A and B are shown apart, each in its own frame.
Chain A
Amino acid sequence: MSAQESVAVSSETAQQTPIAQKKRSAEERYYYASQRELIWWRFTRHKAAVFGAVVLIVLYLCALFADFLSPYSMDTRFEGYQAAPPTPIHWIRPDGGFQPYIYGLQRKLDQKTFKWIYTEDTSKLYPLRFFVRGEEYKFLGLFKTNIHLFGVEGAPIFVFGTDRLSRDLFSRIWAGARISLSIGLVGVFISFTLGVILGGISGYFGGVVDDAIQRVIDFLLAIPGLPLWMTLSAALPRDWPTLKMYFAITIILSVLGWTGLARVVRGKILQLREEDYTLAAIGAGASDWRIITRHLLPGFTSHLIVSITFSIPAMILNETALSFIGLGIQPPAVSWGTLLQDAQNLTAVAQQPWLLIPALFVIATVILFNFVGDGLRDAADPYQR
């Protein structure tokens, strides 16, 4: 059938004025856009959110390629460089040419305080080189290589200084990022699965099941989080291997995390169940399965993504807090929380302020996630039709 036959009563989109082709095609694009595309368009308008998303992606990539990015392994000790400050990087050579380079460090014992004092030895200059060969590692666990993004031959480089066991903090931060950043994702994944299933059951079936699940949630929410986690993680054997410990801690963190998501899911399902389009689908004869998968679930995925984006930073903070007090990730495994353990006493922080750099990473990550979450929430605003 041709379009002309169909004009009937309405000629609703009749254009009165000639419009530029470009504007027209933009309108067309809008007509055919799905909800997902609309949300994406609104999200890209939110500058802070886009910035946050880009930086977060970079952070995660850095964590993924930590071995390549850092000049040393996280356990390499540099005898004679205990608690050394960040190595200054110079850019202009004494003879005027541009080249990043560093000087070697000399240390001297302060006779009064018995602290090591590091000074630059300007007699010899060590150029900074890229794609240098250094310690061997397994690239993404696939093959062995020894190429690092940057390095210096002849002298060590400590971008963020070293800790009291003379290990390079820069390398350790990226190693820690792997655990700290991923624990948020894995933990949220577990919370999400529990939350969607239990919240969904609670909302769709209602009645006694709903009541039972809601009381469990009330109970869990009534327990103060930190003492619960402390109790649970104190019960873990200290001699578990790193990986096992990691998952145990993640599960402990997720024990409370799913409750919030379950409430979001339940609330949304209750709301969407009352929407006329759900009734229309029932009236059309659609099965429960189709109603859930076609009409209910897609209706709140955007809200779920928003809640998830806000729960990841909370997870990261919780891990950091737990590890900081020594009940989370255990050394020799490294997370930002364990790195911060070194900054626990005031004198250490006063004398080696670079030990606080991991905290900056934690703060930045949390803020960036909140930027992204804000942007997503505005983009998925349910009041915009």
Chain B
Amino acid sequence: MANHTQEPLLEVRDLKKWFPVSKGFLQRQTGFVKAVDGVNLDVQAGETLGIVGESGSGKTTLGRCITRLYMPTGGKIIMRADGETMDVSALKGKELSAFRKRAQTIFQDPYSSLNPRMTVLQTVGEPLLVNNVAKGKELEDRVTEIILQVGLRVEHLQRYPHSFSGGQRQRIGIARAMVLNPKLVVADEPVSALDVSIQAQILNLLLDLQQKYQLTYLFISHAMSVVRYVSDRIAVMYAGKLVELGPKQELLSHPKHPYTEALLAAVPKTSQRKRGMRLVSAGEPPDLANLPKGCVFVSRCKYAAEICQEQAPVLRPLGSDSFVSCHLAESLTLQGI
């Protein structure tokens, strides 16, 4: 569990990633899709921070900015590892390479995340090779070690991705992320493309690896049940904003943001089978290129007041370890699970 007295491993401050939108014959830029719009969060070393949100909430973009797969449009990402402090978006050359050794990504789609023309050895060995960590025999030894750790076998080394099942491919992707011995791993929906009977294998593998290598996870998923299983704290995103962040149990049983409540209510539950209608939040998420002036959730919020239309709320602390971005948080009593 996270030790909050220490400085956090990762600090994200007012992070923005806007994608330009062009329209028409002349491809004139007409505005921005605000995929991530002013996100603040800290990640403690050794914890798993789950990030939940629906499609378009910006959770994947956030993860990709943190591992510098995308260049942020604004804000700061600070990473502290091995006594170094790195300003992630300003890194170049050697420093960037040093950062990449410490922050890696596991991708969602086990099919498109592996180059079909490279063997397991080449795929998993690539990070070692391009960062001049190892080559030749040493590279092979290190790759062998890590693929055994993720539950693959030595004879798999020379095979191509097409000969593996979805679960095995995801193991290869995990091995590639782990081979540099990173501090932080962003796992972007690592199980949502897998069959239900395979998901638990991969989730347990991730938990075991975390324990063994003292990893810090940023675990991105749309499935609340999966996030609940792996996370210490949970952050909820909606339309590019962080709406709530808190310790897992607190957030699940006492949600503080109306969207969190709606999300929890919407999740199908085995204990509520055939129990008639649920509390369903009407409407759909807003257009990211055309966000409302006030709160992003205002059009779907059943508690919305006048201030919500006018003024965008900011993320603020509430209670001991929780943060919420809602004007009315103190006055609402919301239902959890």
Contact = CB atoms under 8 A, between A and B. Distances in A.
Interface of A: 1-3, 5-10, 12, 30-35, 38, 211, 275-277, 279-287, 290, 294-295, 298-299, 385
B151 A6 contact: yes
A2 B145 CA distance: 11
A35 B168 contact: no
B195 interface: no
A298 B117 contact: yes
Contact of B130 (A7, A10, A276, A285): A285
Interface stretch (B152-160, B257-265, B275-283): B152-160
A31 B156 CA distance: 9
B18 interface: no
Contact of A6 (B68, B130, B148, B205): B148
Nearest to A277: B115
Shortest 10 CB-CB contacts between residues of A and residues of B: A31-B163, A276-B113, A284-B127, A8-B151, A285-B100, A6-B148, A277-B115, A276-B107, A286-B130, A10-B151
B311 interface: no
Interface residues of B, number: 50
A302 to B, nearest CB: 10
A31 B100 contact: no
Interface in B89-133: 96-97, 100-101, 104-105, 107-109, 111-118, 126-127, 130-131
Nearest to B163: A31
22 contacts: A6-B147, A9-B151, A10-B152, A10-B171, A12-B168, A31-B160, A32-B158, A32-B163, A34-B160, A276-B109, A276-B112, A276-B113, A277-B112, A277-B115, A279-B107, A280-B176, A283-B100, A284-B100, A284-B130, A284-B180, A298-B115, A385-B162
B139 to A, nearest CB: 13
A5 B154 CA distance: 10
B294 interface: no
A324 B48 CA distance: 74
B211 to A, nearest CB: 15
Given A31-B159, A276-B107, A1 B176 contact: no
A295 B158 CA distance: 18
A89 B173 CA distance: 68
A37 to B, nearest CB: 9
Nearest to B116: A35
A30 B163 contact: yes
B144 interface: yes
Contact of A3 (B155, B162, B204, B205): B155
Given A6-B154, A277-B112, A280-B176, A285 B160 contact: no
